Structure 1
Amino acid sequence: MSEGSLEAPVRHPIDWRNPEFFDEAKLDEELRRVFDICHGCRRCFNLCDSFPRLFDLIDESESGELDTVDSKDFKPVVDACTLCDMCFMVKCPYVPPHEFNLDFPHLMLRYRAVEHAKKGSGFAEKQLTDTDRNGKLATGALSGIANWATRRGNAVTRPMMEKIADVHRDAVLPPYTGKTLVARAKANPPVVNESAPAAGKRKAVVYATCYGNYNTPEVGEALLGVLAKNGIAAEVVYPECCGMPQMEQGAVQDVAEKAKRVAAFMEKYVDDGYEVIALVPSCALMLKFEWPLVVPDDDKIRKLSAATRDASEYIVALAKSEGLAEGLKPLDGPVAIHIACHARAQNMGQKASEMMRLIPEIDLTVVERCSGHGGSWGVMKENFEVGMKVGRPVFRQAKANGKAKYVASECPLAGLHIAQGMEASAKDEAEKAALPETSPHPITIFAKAYGL
């Protein structure tokens, strides 16, 4: 039997509407089939903590094989998966159309979906991942109180959060903005450069994402500024969250319902020829790839998938087709860019680094490995130290041997984690003072090169 395939990897729809999807005996049978293949291969040993846990579990069993491993011991393997998709995208030689038909991340999702169907999400996870409710409550006038309460080092609230919600007291949590991206864009739209090469040739709408709307509106403002500089007046919309936090919990039906609602909202833009730009790679991945697999029979979702672009991907395509407006100037120091796992999973190449190389005379370091964060997974008490361990090589590389002035990740949450990791790994105060300045997304550095 051959290893690997000469054909491009494909993913099958997630068959969550089939009752057999939730059959625990059939799930266990599939887990054992896949785990046995992984045990014999071990190519993914250095990707995340799921695989070391699996291999240790088998190696320490009575026979040293899977047959003497109890199925109840599979849960820690599943819990360590962050659904980053890197095993499927870059390592596994047995993904479809190979006859082994191995999709490890979606098998982990199925396990969580079965758990969710039996008992729902835990209280802490449900509260933490209700991003729209949390964002609406914590932005605006209450943002100061929310940021005080969630601030790392708050001796009053953070130990309490750790006890009640299992959020590690030392994990940096994203701050909330006083004014959402949607509100900012309406109040202060940038002036459009009508003489730019792309003026009048493209129509774009920015999907703010929950993180871009409630936590890092500066990313969206930077993108809007760059688009306006290049002759594109983009509207910002935010119907609701893409459902990635619910996907992580196995709440597949919730994801399907979100996908249908957002696709219905966006249909008028897509039908009118707009390209949809997602600010966060995880959200772009959901719209492009995961939604069509969760709801494969919805034409609106298929159309939205085809129209969606990652922010960096859009700027690179613009540069290659119409060309960029003049005005990009060299930065005042070297840059380190972290390529997020969910950007890599979009199978579009290193668009963030391509975008950065459009800046004249740039001194660029590219970091392409997992930061260890994994969305809400990385801030939980049981995962935080593992995430810091996984991220250590990234923390070292992001410093670029001490020369980087700016560092940014395509994933703003990963960026927070990298900044914390660099600070934690600094040997003394002098090294801390010399750490690079962190930006929430490469587009903010690109906007800086435009003088915006």
Structure 2
Amino acid sequence: MREGSLEAPTRHPLAWQDPDFYDEAKLDAELRRVFDICHGCRRCFNLCDSFPRLFDLIDASKSGELDTVESKDFAPVVDACTLCDMCYMTKCPYVPPHAFNVDFPHLMLRYRAVEAKQGALPRADRELAQTDRNGKLASLAAPIANWATDRANTRTRKLLDKFAGLHPEAELPDYTTRSFTARAKAGPPSVNEDAPAYGRKAVLYATCYVNYNDPDLGVATQAVLARNGVQTEVVYPACCGMPLLEQGRIDKVADNARIVAGELRGWIDKGYDVIALVPSCALMLKSEWPLILPDDADVKRLSAATYDISEYVVDIARKEGLAPGLQPVGGGMAVHMACHARAQNMGQKAAEMLRLLPEADVQVIERCSGHGGAWGFKTANFPTALKVGRPVARQARDSGKSFVTSECPLAGVHIMQGIDKLGGDAAKPERVTHPIQLLARAYGIGA
């Protein structure tokens, strides 16, 4: 229950195929309507940089109200939004079905969609969002690509700053020479037929990040599920489109949704669950795609069949019980709850999963890391990303835990950079890419 409404929050489909969606005058009127509501409330002042920018803009205006703010000055407010959905999910009392009908993230998305329609998106940004093409090309020459993006390579990082707008100090993900889908062609691990959950079947939607950057996360997931009796297959038709969504290229997201949902339809027909290995991608499959293509039957079925990996393991634990053999990992664990996991409205599933380990000592960090996907890599945003994420980095540093992990792999890297910036004499925790890998360690997998 939220202040201002007695009903559960809901969300309206995106009217991105309606010409009015791109009408600049109507967009400006809606921006002013929503911004005025935000100005009168200010509950979101500490979530991200969009709201301080908005409130400072209004406070510095001639009248101290929105009527004397020029529309051209709205751009920095929109630019600071990472589409994390936390204002919508956790703070705003005026989301639908409230009569005010405030959906701040989707309003920011609409603004970007208008910009994209006008051709205002820089070419470098468009190219960076081509994750599948970039991943395939970089994997062909991964050592060279990783050398070029290494922070220590100041010459190439200056070039990336100049031509791609990537901050020289931002830690960029490495590429792998052998993708997760390529590794999976060798066959899935042997399934434990004595496990209580034997009989479950699941497709692992690899995601562009796991496929091209960190296949070890996928391998660990497959091994943990096999130990628990789950037969798995790895499928990756295309990216979920989150990088495209961040740029307002909704038509391209819809194209990817149709491809992926069509490919996974056959697996769902055969009784397979679908597991997304990164929370942003799970959120796209579960929530964003059905709002973009509300009449697509394949998208609806996929949404209902999709699980986040932490959610799926907890579901096994509750319904059948986990396979025996878990051992203490040793040392406490600080787990960051990624915004796109929180936006799935499923509870703290990563923390629940880690508490299944013997002698588990889990500290939850539930606040935005500041990274925001590709947003946090950008030269214009990286200092702000560090500022927003500083409370998380401080909690992780001061937790005294041996491990720090996040459901969002990129957030974990950003948190460690934040810890480095804070300094101090305390021993740094070890970063584990995803909580599922701590479960793998507890089973002795990969140890």
Provide TM-score, normalisation by structure 2.
0.98
Q: CA deviation at 1:222?
A: 0.9
Aligned 1:333-348 pairs, distance under 5 A: 333-348=331-346
d(CA) in 2 for partners of 1:330 and 1:6?
44
Q: CA deviation at 1:399?
A: 2.4
Say whether residues 1:414 and 2:407 are aligned partners.
no
Aligned 1:292-307 pairs, distance under 5 A: 292-307=290-305
Q: Which amino acid aligns with 2:174?
A: P
SS of 2:431's partner is: strand
Contact 1:407–1:438 under 8 Å retained in 2: yes
d(CA) in 2 for partners of 1:165 and 1:174?
15
Say whether residues 1:89 and 2:92 are aligned partners.
no
Q: CA deviation at 1:233?
A: 1.8
Partner of 1:186: 185
Q: Identify which of 258, 261, 266 aligns with 2:256.
A: 258
SS of 2:275's partner is: strand
Say whether residues 1:359 and 2:354 are aligned partners.
no
* Structure 2 segments unaligned to the other structure (5+ residues): none
d(CA) in 2 for partners of 1:260 and 1:190?
30
d(CA) in 1 for partners of 2:124 and 2:441?
39
Aligned 1:182-331 pairs, distance under 5 A: 182-187=181-186, 189-200=188-199, 202-331=200-329
Q: Identify which of 424, 433, 446 aligns with 2:439.
A: 446
SS of 1:399's partner is: helix
Partner of 2:108: 108
SS of 2:30's partner is: helix
d(CA) in 1 for partners of 2:242 and 2:259?
15
Q: CA deviation at 1:296?
A: 0.6
d(CA) in 1 for partners of 2:373 and 2:124?
15
Partner of 2:54: 54
Partner of 1:27: 27
Q: CA deviation at 1:188?
A: 5.3
* Aligned residues between the structures: 444
Partner of 1:121: 121
What whole-Å deviation, never above 9, does each CA across 1:216-264 have from its counterpart, x for those lacking one? 1111111101100001120011101000000000000001111011100
SS of 1:337's partner is: strand
Partner of 1:16: 16
What whole-Å deviation, never above 9, does each CA across 1:343-367 have from its counterpart, x for those lacking one? 0000000000000000011111110
d(CA) in 1 for partners of 2:132 and 2:383?
27
Q: Which amino acid aligns with 1:334?
A: G
Say whether residues 1:167 and 2:166 are aligned partners.
yes
Q: Which amino acid aligns with 2:444?
A: G
* Structure 1 segments unaligned to the other structure (5+ residues): none
Say whether residues 1:390 and 2:388 are aligned partners.
yes
Q: Which amino acid aligns with 1:307?
A: A
Q: CA deviation at 1:143?
A: 0.7
d(CA) in 2 for partners of 1:7 and 1:153?
52
Q: Which runs of 4+ in 1 moved over 3 A?
A: none
What whole-Å deviation, never above 9, does each CA across 1:78-100 have from its counterpart, x for those lacking one? 00000000000000000000000
Q: Which amino acid aligns with 1:315?
A: V
d(CA) in 2 for partners of 1:318 and 1:186?
26
What whole-Å deviation, never above 9, does each CA across 1:331-385 have from its counterpart, x for those lacking one? 1111110000000000000000000000011111110000000000001000000
Q: CA deviation at 1:3?
A: 5.0
Q: Which amino acid aligns with 1:38?
A: C
Q: CA deviation at 1:322?
A: 1.0
d(CA) in 2 for partners of 1:247 and 1:120?
15
Q: Which amino acid aligns with 2:421?
A: A
SS of 1:319's partner is: helix
d(CA) in 1 for partners of 2:146 and 2:64?
49
d(CA) in 2 for partners of 1:6 and 1:221?
44
Q: Which amino acid aligns with 2:227?
A: K
Contact 1:336–1:399 under 8 Å retained in 2: no
Partner of 1:435: 428
What whole-Å deviation, never above 9, does each CA across 1:179-221 have from its counterpart, x for those lacking one? 1111112225322111101112x11000000001001111111
d(CA) in 2 for partners of 1:155 and 1:212?
27
Q: Which amino acid aligns with 2:442?
A: A
Q: CA deviation at 1:121?
A: 2.6
Q: Which amino acid aligns with 2:117?
A: A
Q: Which amino acid aligns with 1:119?
A: G
Say whether residues 1:67 and 2:67 are aligned partners.
yes
d(CA) in 2 for partners of 1:229 and 1:101?
46
SS of 2:185's partner is: helix
d(CA) in 2 for partners of 1:284 and 1:423?
30
Contact 1:365–1:400 under 8 Å retained in 2: no
Contact 1:408–1:415 under 8 Å retained in 2: yes
Partner of 1:425: 422
d(CA) in 2 for partners of 1:143 and 1:233?
31
d(CA) in 1 for partners of 2:382 and 2:188?
39
